[in-house]
Structure formats: C-alpha cells, structure tokens
Amino acid sequence: MLDKQSMITSADSLFVARERRVPTPAITFSINDLTVDGAYSIQQELIKKMTAEGDVIVGGKIGLSSKANQEKFGINEPIFGHLLASMVIPEGDSISIDSMFRPIVEPEIAFLLSDDLKGPGVTVGNVLSATAGVMPAFEVADSRYETPISRIEDNIADNSGAAIVILGGKLTRTDNLDLRLVGMVLEENGEVISTGAGAAVLGNPAQAVANLANRWADFDIGLKAGDIVISGTPVAAVPAEPGDFFEAIFDRLGAVSVRFV
C-alpha cells in the first residue's frame, strides 16, 4: 500500500509542475511498484491541493475509452480524472502552446448533469435520466512529465492528463437521441483528418459516464447536478502545433472549435 508521505510528495511534485510550468520526473521513477489504485490516491491528493488554492471541481473526464488503447497500457477499464473550473475556457479563446507541455486534441461528447449520480451500480439508463443534455466538446489533454510516459499509473496520478476543455454552445436533450449513432467529423486546418461515432466510446458514451460514477464510489465521491462530464474520444488524439485550428462537427449536436497560437 502506498504510504501517506509518498502520496503527498508525489502530489506536490505534480502540483508544482502545473503551477510553475516546469515538468517533473515520472512518479514511477521513484515508486516503481505504484499500482493503479495508488495512482488514484495521488490524484485525489493533487486535487485537494488544487482546490485548496481556490479552484472548484465542476465535473469529470474519461480517458482510454477504447479497448485498443486500454490493451496498449495493460489495463481493462478507462481512466478517470476531475475537471476544475480553471480548465474550462470559452470557445473563442486561443490556446498558447507555450502554456502547455505536450497538448493533444480530443473531440468528445460532454454531458451536463441535471441530477446527482453516485455509484456503485450506476447504469446507462441512470446516466441518461440524470442528463440535462449533451454538447460537442474538445478536451486538450496534457502531461506534466519530463519525458513521454509508458505507464498508465503516471497518467492517472497526473489527473489523467486533464488540462483544458472547450464546450460547444449548443445543448441537446438526449430524448429520442441514440448517442451510439452520433457521428463526428474532425477537421484540422480545414481538412478532414478523422471520423467517428459515439459507439466507439465503450459502446455508448453514457456507459463511460456510468463507469466514472462507479469508479469514484471507491473514494466516496459522486457526480453532482450541474457537473460536466467529457466522455472520451471516438477517434485518435491529435498533437497540437502553433497555428493549428481544429473543428469537430457532430451529427445533431452542432460543432466546436479551438485554435492554437
């Protein structure tokens, strides 16, 4: 079991990396036997530090929602992180590459909850009944480490790479909407680079939200009415470079865009 001091020291290094924008060595360099559960404990300690500075939790995120990506890291479930108010930026704002480490862009369906959700036992039906509507979104994920990581425990400890979220302005109710069939086209600088559909996210993006609620139950944490949950991308993430402009167009949900400078 990860001892409390190692947890605090690891969270401190990640917190300082975020605050000073200076990368830190991977946690598993110093804690080689770090487990997934231990990494989540570090993540919770990191979130405590961030909220103690005045930031506010506004929802959650899901990563590695495809089986192929899970197998790549040797796990059998997605990974999860918290969204904080400071991470959500207006769609019209440009993102400075210099403010990040290794930004990657992921188009996703975002859920706005109308009711609380807390596991265990949350199902797709529970998620849909607790959803006010869905929105097109971009997650710009990042890593605060000195070198690219090879172990998923490092990613989890770093709040599963959560960095920036951009929400499209249109909220669509899920009544009579099969999220599995929602198609998406991703464009980079005006050219189509990939296409996908909701079914690529664990069979249904609502299943990803259910998994998040059930995983957080291990820490006695629940999702709250008004929370935003980004459900994972149906396509491969794309590295961002200065001058890039991305737009994701979702069937029936509208579009969302982001520019990097």
- Is residue 1 over pLDDT 70? no
* Least confident stretch, 115-119, 190-194, 215-219: 215-219
Residue 68: pLDDT band by 50, 70, 90 thresholds?
Answer: low
Q: Is the pTM of this model over 0.75?
A: yes
The two three-digit tokens of residue 133, written as one number:
């509507």
- Is residue 73 scored above 90 in pLDDT? no
Is the model's pLDDT at 69 over the cut of 80?
Answer: no
Query: Which residue shows structure tokens 């710009």?
Result: 140
For residue 212, how far is the Cα from the chain centroid? 11
Domain 56-259: CATH architecture, name and number where available: Alpha-Beta Complex (3.90)
Alpha-carbon distance 50 to 216, whole Å?
Answer: 18
pLDDT category at 34 given cuts 50, 70, 90 is: very high
Mean pLDDT over residues 100-126, rounded?
Answer: 97
Task: Kindly state the average pLDDT of the residues 114-135.
Answer: 97
Distance between alpha carbon 174 and the CA centroid of its chain, in Å? 21
| Max Cα–Cα distance, the chain, nearest Å | 50
Q: Report the alpha-carbon distance of residue 183 to residue 177 in Å, rounded.
A: 12
**Each residue of 133-181: pLDDT tens digit?**
999 999 999 999 999 988 999 999 999 999 999 999 899 999 999 999 9
Q: How far is it, in rounded angstroms, from Cα 79 to Cα 104?
A: 16
Parallel, antiparallel or unpaired: strands 57-63 and 228-230? parallel
| Residue 38 one-letter amino acid | G
**Residue 50 clears pLDDT 90, i.e. is over it:** yes
